[in-house]
Amino acid sequence: MCLADAEKKMAVATLASETLPLLVLTFITDNSLVAASHDCFPVLFTYKAAMGMLSFGRRLDVPKLSSQSGLMAHKRFQNLDKKANSEGGTSEGGTSAGSGLDSLHKNSVSQISVLSGGKAKCSQFCTGGMDSGMSIWDVKSLESALKDLKIK
């Protein structure tokens, strides 16, 4: 990932990440951005303007957190999918939705949108995936659930 800083004469901060190629990203604060890829989960990155450095924050979709977050719409559609599968149908590829993945999304994340607070101080954002799933993320809940996570 490369980030150009207009306040520093377009100095470019570069970071090589261990994730698959990024598909989408958006700033959620002046110094924090959320990106997602074919890995099926959002990742937080932080830009330290004083040092001109871009750094990896952490994966936001922790399996334990996903199961506790109570994302009602996602769970409702997941239950409908399970019901359809138990009535004789199967999901794509003949396997259950989500087999082998420990993430909330079961396919690439293709969209990240700020829902409230704006890009300078986001309080909620939404991710949409190619699995037709949508998840709403609350920034304060993420900070309290994931130890050592500070979104500035």
> 3-state SS string over 58-115?
EECCCHHHHHHCCCHHHHHHHHHHHHHHHCCCCCHHHCCCCCCCCCCCCCCEEEEEEE
Q: Report yes or no: 43 and 57 within 8 Å, Cβ to Cβ.
A: yes
- Average of per-residue pLDDT across 58-72: 59
pLDDT at 85 > cutoff 60: no
Structure confidence at residue 114 (pLDDT): 92
Distance spanning both ends of the chain, measured CA to CA = 20
- Report which residue type is found at 36: A
Among residues 113, 147, 92, the alpha carbon closest in space to that of 42 is found at 113
Contacts of 61 (CB under 8 A, 6+ apart): 40, 41, 42, 103, 104, 105, 135
Contacts of 10 (CB under 8 A, 6+ apart): 4
Q: Which of 59-63, 76-80, 93-97, 147-151 has the highest mean pLDDT?
A: 59-63
Round the average pLDDT of the chain to a whole number and report it: 76
- Average of per-residue pLDDT across 79-84: 60
Does the model's pTM come out above 0.85? no
Q: Domain 2-145 has what CATH class?
A: mainly beta
pLDDT at 117 > cutoff 80: yes
- Determine which helix (DSSP H) or strand (DSSP E) holds 55, and give its type and residue range: strand 53-59
Q: Report yes or no: 140 and 148 within 8 Å, Cβ to Cβ.
A: no
Identify the weakest region by mean pLDDT among 57-61, 87-91, 102-106, 124-128. Answer: 87-91
Q: Report yes or no: 136 and 129 within 8 Å, Cβ to Cβ.
A: no
